[in-house]
Copies of this chain bind each other. A is one copy, B any other.
Amino acid sequence: MGQGTAAPAGGLRERARRAIRAEIARVGMELFLRNGFEPTTVEEIAAAAGISRRSFFRYFASKDEVVLAHLDELAATVTEALAARPADEDPWVSLRRAFDAVVAEAEADRAANYGLTRLLNETEALRGQYAERQKRAWVEAAAPILAARLPPHAGPGPDLRAEALVAAALGCVSIVADACLACGPEADFAALLDQAMAAVRPLS
């Protein structure tokens, strides 16, 4: 488990497991997008994936997880992009530029992205969990990178500066995502993000 991070594959058996998991996710998302999240039962997903209901829960801890699974990849993308920015750049600008990677991915398949956003919005519980996980994943991954670039922390108590920066930027992303949902799939994500982030702190 604690071995191959981005390696080609772990063991022979592990590869099969990964493939089945991916297939369940694919089939599940298809059904969710077609029929909605709540109306789609685990039974249906399992049947469509050719496994039993019980086995579904051996691959995903919950129905939510099928939708939420996308997030870990996203966080990795942002972290990579952030680490690649010059160390002397303003942190707020670095964050804005790091999001470009995600924006590009979203714009590459506007329909899929819009569908996912609508799905998230339709189910209150999902939406909240998605936002919270995104926050946690991005803060955990991105804050340490930023913290190393900030001037030394003076004063008592923990240093919250880097985490606050990331969380604030994420707040902007969330507002933009809401706006894009209202605007339709052709919204200019990048321009709206520029506007939102510049309102909080000038982009140098």
Contacts and interface: CB of A to CB of B under 8 A. Distances in A.
Contact of A170 (B130, B166, B171, B179): B171
A171 B133 CA distance: 13
Contact of A167 (B125, B139, B164, B172): B172
B196 A175 contact: no
A177 B147 CA distance: 19
Closest 5 CB pairs of A and B: A167-B171, A128-B132, A161-B199, A128-B128, A164-B196
Interface of A: 64, 92, 124-125, 127-133, 135, 139, 155, 157-158, 160-172, 174-176, 178-179, 182-183, 187-188, 191-192, 195-197, 199-201
Identical chains bound together, number: 2
16 contacts: A92-B200, A124-B129, A135-B174, A157-B183, A160-B179, A160-B192, A160-B199, A163-B175, A163-B178, A164-B171, A164-B197, A165-B200, A167-B168, A167-B174, A171-B171, A200-B201
Q: Is the interface of A mostly helix, strand, loop or mixed?
A: helix
A171 to B, nearest CB: 3
A195 B155 contact: yes
Nearest to A172: B164
A183 B159 CA distance: 12
- Best-buried of A92, A128, A139, A172 by chain B (most CB within 10 Å): A128
A165 B195 CA distance: 11
Contacts of A124: 129, 132
Nearest to A195: B160
Nearest to A62: B125
